[in-house]
Chains A and B, each alone.
Chain A
Amino acid sequence: LTSKHSWLSRLIVCLSAVAAASALLVACGGDDESGGGGGGSQEKAASPSKCGLGNGKAARGNAIKVGAVITNGAGVDFSSATDAAAAFFKCVNANGGINGRPVQYTVENDELNPEKAGQVASKLVQQRKVDAIVASTSFVDCPVNASLYEKNGYNIIYGVGVPEQCFKSPAFTATNEGPQLSGVGAAQYAVETLGAKKLVGLAPNLPGIGTYTNDGIKAYADEAGVEFKGFINDIPLKDPQSVAVQAAQAAGSDGAVVMVMPVPEDIAVMKAAESSGVADTTKWTCATPCNDLGFPKAVGSFWDGKIFTNSELALTDSKGADNQLWLKVMDQHAGSKDPRDNFSQAGFLAAKIFTDTVLDLKPGELTKENISAAIAKVKNYKTDLLCKPWYWPPKGADHYPNNADRTVVLKGEKQVEAEKGGCFDVSFPNADALRKLEQGQGLNTG
Chain B
Amino acid sequence: MPDIKPFLVTGLALGGVYALSGVGIVVLYRITGVLNFAFGAIGAMGALIAWSLVNDAGMATWPALLIAVAFGGFASLFYGVVGGPVLGGRDELVKATGTLGYALVLLGIMFWIWSDDPRTLDFPLTRYGFFVGEVRVTATQLVSIGLAVLLTGLTTVYLRRARLGTAMRALANDSEITGMLGVPVRRVEAAAWLGSGLVCGACGVLLAVQVRLEAAALTFLVISSFAAALIGRLRSLWATLVGGLVIGLVESVLTPFSSVSQYRTITPFVVAIGVLLWLGRRRTVAVARGA
Contacts and interface: CB of A to CB of B under 8 A. Distances in A.
Contact of A277 (B94, B136, B214, B216): B136
B136 A276 contact: yes
B79 A23 contact: yes
A22 B98 contact: yes
Contacts of A430: none
A294 B118 contact: yes
B226 interface: no
A276 B90 contact: no
B198 to A, nearest CB: 17
Q: Is chain B's binding surface mostly helix, strand, loop or mixed? A: helix
Interface string B123-139: 00010010100111010
Range for the number of chain B residues in contact with chain A = 35 or more
Nearest to B58: A4
B135 to A, nearest CB: 5
Contact of A18 (B106, B136, B211): B106
Contacts of A23: 79, 82-83, 86-87, 98, 101-102
Contacts, number: 175
A373 B94 CA distance: 57
A106 interface: no
Given A75-B214, A277-B131, A19 B118 contact: no
Contacts of B261: 231, 246
B173 to A, nearest CB: 25
Range for the number of chain A residues in contact with chain B = 35 or more
Nearest to A265: B212
A243 B255 contact: yes
B255 A246 contact: yes
Given A236-B216, A245-B7, A294 B117 contact: yes
Contacts of B120: 267, 271, 298-300
Given A22-B83, A245-B7, A4 B105 contact: no
Contacts of A243: 255
A53 interface: no
A292 interface: yes
Interface in B212-245: 212, 214-217, 220-221, 224
B228 to A, nearest CB: 13
A22 B135 contact: no
Contacts of B140: 275
B119 A294 contact: yes
B56 to A, nearest CB: 5
A22 B102 CA distance: 5
B196 interface: no
Contact of B252 (A24, A242, A268): A242
B133 to A, nearest CB: 10
Contact of B212 (A18, A246, A268): A268
A26 B94 contact: yes
A167 to B, nearest CB: 24
B82 A1 contact: no
Interface string A1-35: 10011011011001100111111111100000000
Interface string B100-117: 011011100100111111
A238 interface: yes
Nearest to B115: A77
A234 interface: yes
Nearest to A21: B105
A7 B10 contact: no
Contacts of A424: none
Contacts of A74: 216
B52 interface: yes
A15 B78 contact: yes
A242 B52 contact: no
B113 A7 contact: yes
Contacts of B134: 245, 249, 277-278, 281
A75 B216 contact: yes
B75 A15 contact: yes
Contacts of B83: 19-20, 22-23, 26-27
Contacts of A212: none
B102 A18 contact: yes
B246 interface: no
Nearest to B126: A275
Contacts of A240: 211-212
Contacts of B189: none
Interface string B154-179: 00000000000000000000000000
Given A7-B52, A23-B98, A245-B7, A76 B113 contact: no
A264 B105 contact: no
A238 B265 contact: yes
A169 B120 CA distance: 38
A19 B138 contact: no
Contact of B14 (A4, A10, A241, A271): A241
9 contacts: A15-B78, A18-B106, A19-B79, A19-B83, A20-B82, A243-B255, A245-B7, A264-B217, A272-B210
Closest 6 pairs (CB-CB, A-B)? A23-B83, A277-B136, A75-B216, A26-B98, A22-B101, A236-B217
Interface of A: 1, 4-5, 7-8, 10-11, 14-15, 18-27, 74-77, 205, 231-234, 236-243, 245-246, 249, 263-264, 267-268, 271-272, 275-278, 281, 292, 294-295, 298-300, 339
Interface of B: 3, 6-7, 9-11, 13-14, 49, 52, 56-57, 75, 78-79, 82-83, 86-87, 90, 94, 97-98, 101-102, 104-106, 109, 112-120, 122, 126, 129, 131, 134-136, 138, 140, 210-212, 214-217, 220-221, 224, 251-252, 255-256, 261-262, 265
Given A7-B56, A21-B105, 18 more contacts: A4-B57, A5-B56, A11-B113, A15-B109, A19-B78, A23-B82, A23-B83, A23-B87, A234-B262, A238-B14, A241-B14, A241-B210, A249-B134, A263-B118, A264-B214, A276-B135, A277-B134, A292-B118
